């Protein structure tokens, strides 16, 4: 952590940019970017998304924290993204470190370096960024000169594979947590940094909401399983709790997000309409770890959209959440937004939709001002039996009724998402996807009287995740996954009547297996990540950069001394008594409840959404001493009238 003036690296960087691809992504200066006086603040955060700008720039978590932190006069926050291999080579050649976009200052000069982790396949990029920044890879080797390296985001709910490389992990919502952390660092600096790096980490750990791996020891059993994880310092809690922002209306961020300069995956103003999900899909880590449900009010949504569009000039609004159609006032939100922006070229989108007729009304409303391109539904499991196991309560007849309404309303393209490799799955469960897709096409043709109907089937490999009922499940091996997907492809292609109408998208099982290794890994997996990175591993989330052979070779070599391997972490089913690497990290969910839900899955028993039924005692609301927060409020979106440019 440096206190003296830190110069911009841009004069050294600029001559190199003409020699690399998409140089605009490294320039910064986007609309709404914040540049603060380095010397006028007391705490400096660098927020890093360890993937390319085009993926990281739209990330909602980073956008929120960027504004929350920069609104405080004694804090500055800048951003950094992973550099592509062509620029990495140039930076190494010229001795230029990893930099931020706002002022092109070296990342290593900040007080705090916070990584937002959406996917485990970004871990090698995290290591690469540390190395490029000149920050020692291992936290034990860092001194007071180096930033405190933190991780947050969904993948941080099991940060154990990164334990050697990070100083701390924060579980849950970051708005209040990032400010609290800044406060602790400010105090410690103002006091003259007593006790050095260890002391500030101890102060963070003592809050009970910041996990500092170095203050916990892990003991192993002879057979490789964990015996126990326990604190090695006094004042450090046995369990670290997640942060939950209870009043979303009090934190209406982002208010004026950055407008990307280079092309990114999403170019729209996104407003999160609620946080959390109580549907209870057993594979869904996001739904489980973000409980309880907290809705943003219709009025706040309205004013955020109004302000966000004005601040950015963007022409698309995304209504974000894990299951947006579940907002109790979504019908009103959609209708009133569509009314308000009727005469402007503002389109609305709802990224995730439930399968029922109501959603077609909603989709029609949302597409009123824009294109009617494709509708996406996620039954996830091909057969009714499979959907009972995963607790995705979608009835096939309901789905067919819904698509019939969609095709009748003018939609020509339906996308269906599924997973392969779910617990208890057989070939028949996956082949049922082909039958379902054919029924969808038949329905579309019957409803419209035309053959010009398409259905795209998209399949991802299932990866068991921590803090879900499937955390104990064995992952399906690559060979069986690929063979099953091939059978499904053959079944779809075999029937000429449908072959051209059904699109088929899938990934092979290899990246999913490595994601599985990292998701449920423990500290020993850190050696594998480091070995892969040293061997050149970067951008593992990109198929053109991912090397399965490299991962397997490194894992086999690095794990051999422990008598375990990749299969041990992935395809092995765990039992109730096994200590899981993340058991000391508290997502709010009761372990007993998770286990019972796992048993219910094996017995094909479904559980309702607790929003509409009595509580199932998952533990979250009890621990927070709260209840789920839902409407309806009966309020209207905005007091602002409809926009009519023709009337001035």
Minimum CB–partner distance for residue 628 and ligand SF4 (Å)? 5
Stretch that binds ligand SF4, among 38-46, 87-95, 405-413, 614-622 (CB under 6 A): 614-622
The Cα–Cα gap between 239 and 219 comes to 16
Stretch that binds ligand SF4, among 115-123, 391-399, 533-541, 612-620 (CB under 6 A): 612-620
Minimum CB–partner distance for residue 390 and ligand SF4 (Å)? 17
Stretch that binds ligand SF4, among 66-74, 304-312, 489-497, 619-627 (CB under 6 A): 619-627
Minimum CB–partner distance for residue 630 and ligand SF4 (Å)? 10
Rounded to the nearest 5°, which phi and psi values hold at 48? Answer: -120, 135
Q: Per CB under 6 A, does 616 bind ligand SF4?
A: yes
Residues 404-443 that bind ligand SF4 (CB under 6 A): none
Other beta carbons less than 10 A from residue 227's beta carbon: 11
Q: How far is CA 57 from CA 28, 101, 436, 494, 543, in A?
A: 11, 11, 37, 42, 20
Which residues does 141 contact at the CB level (< 8 Å), separation at least 6? none
Q: Per CB under 6 A, does 587 bind ligand SF4?
A: no
Q: Which residues pair with 456 in a beta bridge?
A: 415, 503
Looking at beta carbons only, is 68 or 293 nearer to ligand SF4? 293
Q: Per CB under 6 A, does 630 bind ligand SF4?
A: no
Helix (H, G, I), strand (E, B) or coil at 583: coil
Mark 264-283 with x for binding to ligand SF4 (rule: CB under 6 A) and - for no binding.
--------------x-----
Looking at beta carbons only, is 242 or 438 nearer to ligand SF4? 242
The Cα–Cα gap between 217 and 207 comes to 19
Looking at beta carbons only, is 105 or 294 nearer to ligand SF4? 294
Please give the helix or strand (H or E) that residue 379 lies within, else none.
Answer: strand 374-380
Minimum CB–partner distance for residue 157 and ligand SF4 (Å)? 17
Q: Per CB under 6 A, does 592 bind ligand SF4?
A: no
| Six-digit token string for 410 | 């003018």
Q: Residues 121, 620, 630, 637: which binds ligand SF4 (CB under 6 A)?
A: 620
Stretch that binds ligand SF4, among 29-37, 91-99, 423-431, 608-616 (CB under 6 A): 608-616
Q: Per CB under 6 A, does 469 bind ligand SF4?
A: no
Stretch that binds ligand SF4, among 76-84, 336-344, 485-493, 621-629 (CB under 6 A): 621-629
Minimum CB–partner distance for residue 611 and ligand SF4 (Å)? 7
Q: Per CB under 6 A, does 618 bind ligand SF4?
A: yes
Based on the number of CB atoms within 10 Å of its own CB, is 87 exposed (0-12), middle (13-18) or buried (19 or more)?
buried
Asked if residues 36 and 69 have their Cβ atoms less than 8 Å apart, the reply is no
Q: Per CB under 6 A, does 292 bind ligand SF4?
A: yes
Q: Per CB under 6 A, does 607 bind ligand SF4?
A: no
Concatenating the DSSP letter of every residue in 464-508 gives --TTSGGGGSPPPPHHHHHHHHHHHHHHHHH-HHHHTTEEEEE--
Stretch that binds ligand SF4, among 128-136, 370-378, 571-579, 609-617 (CB under 6 A): 609-617
Task: Scan for tokens 């060979």, then name that residue.
Answer: 479
Minimum CB–partner distance for residue 627 and ligand SF4 (Å)? 7
Which residues does 605 contact at the CB level (< 8 Å), separation at least 6? 388
Asked if residues 210 and 203 have their Cβ atoms less than 8 Å apart, the reply is no
Looking at beta carbons only, is 601 or 621 nearer to ligand SF4? 621
Minimum CB–partner distance for residue 480 and ligand SF4 (Å)? 34
Which residues does 124 contact at the CB level (< 8 Å), separation at least 6? 529, 532, 533, 537, 538, 539, 540
Looking at beta carbons only, is 622 or 636 nearer to ligand SF4? 622
Which residues does 431 contact at the CB level (< 8 Å), separation at least 6? 382, 487, 488, 491
Other beta carbons less than 10 A from residue 28's beta carbon: 20
The Cα–Cα gap between 340 and 346 comes to 10
Q: Which residues pair with 320 in a beta bridge?
A: 272
Looking at beta carbons only, is 622 or 633 nearer to ligand SF4? 622
| Six-digit token string for 161 | 């594979």
- Number of residues assigned to the chain: 648
Looking at beta carbons only, is 291 or 484 nearer to ligand SF4? 291
Q: Per CB under 6 A, does 291 bind ligand SF4?
A: yes
Looking at beta carbons only, is 279 or 484 nearer to ligand SF4? 279
Minimum CB–partner distance for residue 66 and ligand SF4 (Å)? 30
Q: Residues 64, 394, 478, 610: which binds ligand SF4 (CB under 6 A)?
A: 610
Q: How many residues bind ligand SF4 (CB under 6 A)?
A: 12
The Cα–Cα gap between 473 and 357 comes to 34
Q: Residues 390, 621, 630, 637: which binds ligand SF4 (CB under 6 A)?
A: 621
Looking at beta carbons only, is 79 or 154 nearer to ligand SF4? 154
| Six-digit token string for 227 | 């015996």
| Six-digit token string for 296 | 């943003």
Residues 391, 393, 397, 399: what is their CA dihedral angle, to the nearest 10 degrees?
Answer: -100
Looking at beta carbons only, is 205 or 288 nearer to ligand SF4? 288
Q: Per CB under 6 A, does 628 bind ligand SF4?
A: yes
Looking at beta carbons only, is 16 or 281 nearer to ligand SF4? 281
Stretch that binds ligand SF4, among 174-182, 316-324, 460-468, 617-625 (CB under 6 A): 617-625
The Cα–Cα gap between 446 and 602 comes to 38
Residues 340-369 that bind ligand SF4 (CB under 6 A): none
Give buried/exposed letters for 113-139 (b at 16+ CB in 10 A, else e): bbbbbbbbbbbbbbbbbbbbbebbbeb
Residues in contact with ligand SF4 by the rule CB under 6 A: 278, 291-292, 610, 615-618, 620-622, 628
């Amino acid at each position: 952590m440096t206190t003296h003036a830190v110069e911009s690296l841009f004069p050294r960087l600029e001559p190199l940019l003409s020699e690399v691809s998409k140089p605009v992504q490294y320039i910064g200066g986007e609309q709404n970017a914040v540049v603060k006086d380095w010397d006028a603040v007391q705490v400096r955060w660098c927020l890093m998304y360890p993937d390319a700008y085009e993926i990281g720039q739209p990330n909602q978590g980073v956008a929120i924290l960027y504004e929350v932190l920069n609104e405080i006069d004694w804090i500055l926050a800048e951003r950094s993204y992973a550099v592509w291999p062509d620029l990495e080579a140039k930076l190494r050649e010229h001795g230029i470190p990893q930099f931020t976009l706002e002022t092109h200052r070296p990342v290593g000069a900040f007080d705090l370096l916070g990584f937002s982790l959406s996917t485990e396949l970004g871990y090698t990029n995290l290591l690469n960024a540390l190395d490029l920044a000149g920050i020692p890879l291992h936290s034990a080797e860092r001194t007071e000169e180096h930033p405190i390296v933190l991780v947050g985001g969904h993948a941080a709910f099991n940060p154990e594979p990164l334990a050697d490389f990070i100083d701390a992990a924060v579980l849950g919502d970051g708005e209040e947590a990032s400010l609290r952390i800044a406060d602790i660092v400010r105090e410690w600096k103002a006091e003259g940094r007593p006790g050095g790096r260890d002391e500030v980490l101890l102060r963070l750990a003592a809050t009970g909401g910041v996990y500092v791996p170095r203050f916990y020891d892990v003991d192993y059993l002879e057979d490789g399983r964990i015996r126990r994880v326990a604190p090695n310092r006094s004042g450090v809690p046995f369990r670290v709790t997640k942060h939950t922002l209870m009043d979303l209306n009090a934190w209406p961020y982002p208010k004026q997000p950055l407008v990307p300069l280079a092309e990114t995956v999403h170019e729209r103003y996104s407003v999160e309409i609620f946080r959390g999900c109580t549907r209870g899909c057993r594979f869904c880590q996001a739904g489980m770890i973000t409980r309880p449900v907290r809705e943003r009010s219709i009025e706040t949504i309205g004013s955020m959209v109004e302000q966000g569009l004005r601040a950015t000039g963007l022409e698309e609004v995304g209504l974000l959440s894990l299951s947006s159609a579940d907002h109790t006032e979504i019908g009103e939100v959609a209708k009133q937004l569509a009314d308000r922006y009727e005469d402007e070229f503002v389109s609305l989108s709802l990224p995730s939709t439930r399968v029922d007729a109501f959603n077609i009304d909603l989709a029609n409303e949302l597409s009123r001002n824009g294109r009617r391109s494709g509708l996406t539904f996620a039954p996830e499991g091909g057969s009714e039996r499979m959907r009972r196991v995963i607790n995705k309560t979608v009835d096939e007849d309901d789905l067919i009724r819904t698509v019939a309404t969609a095709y009748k309303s003018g939609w020509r393209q339906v996308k269906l998402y599924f997973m392969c490799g779910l617990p208890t799955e057989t070939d028949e469960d996956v082949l049922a996807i082909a039958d379902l897709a054919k029924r969808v096409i038949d329905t579309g043709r019957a409803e419209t009287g035309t053959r010009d109907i398409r259905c795209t089937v998209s399949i991802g490999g299932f990866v068991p995740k921590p803090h879900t009922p499937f955390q104990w499940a064995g992952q399906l091996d690559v060979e069986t996954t690929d063979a099953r997907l091939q059978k499904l492809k053959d079944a779809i292609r075999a029937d000429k009547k449908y072959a051209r109408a059904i699109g088929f998208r899938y990934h092979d099982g290899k990246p999913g297996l490595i994601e599985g290794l990292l998701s449920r890994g423990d500290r020993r997996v850190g050696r594998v990540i480091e070995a892969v990175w040293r061997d050149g591993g970067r951008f593992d989330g990109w198929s053109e950069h991912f090397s399965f052979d490299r991962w397997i070779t490194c894992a086999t070599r690095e794990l051999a001394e422990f008598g375990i391997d990749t299969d041990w972490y992935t395809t092995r089913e765990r039992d109730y008594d096994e200590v899981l690497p993340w058991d000391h990290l508290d997502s709010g969910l009761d372990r007993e409840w998770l286990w019972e839900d796992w048993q219910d899955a094996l017995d094909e028993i479904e559980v309702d959404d607790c929003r509409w039924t009595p509580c199932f005692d998952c533990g979250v609301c009890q621990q927070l001493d709260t209840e789920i927060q839902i409407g309806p409020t009966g309020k209207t979106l905005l007091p602002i009238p409809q926009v009519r440019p023709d009337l001035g």
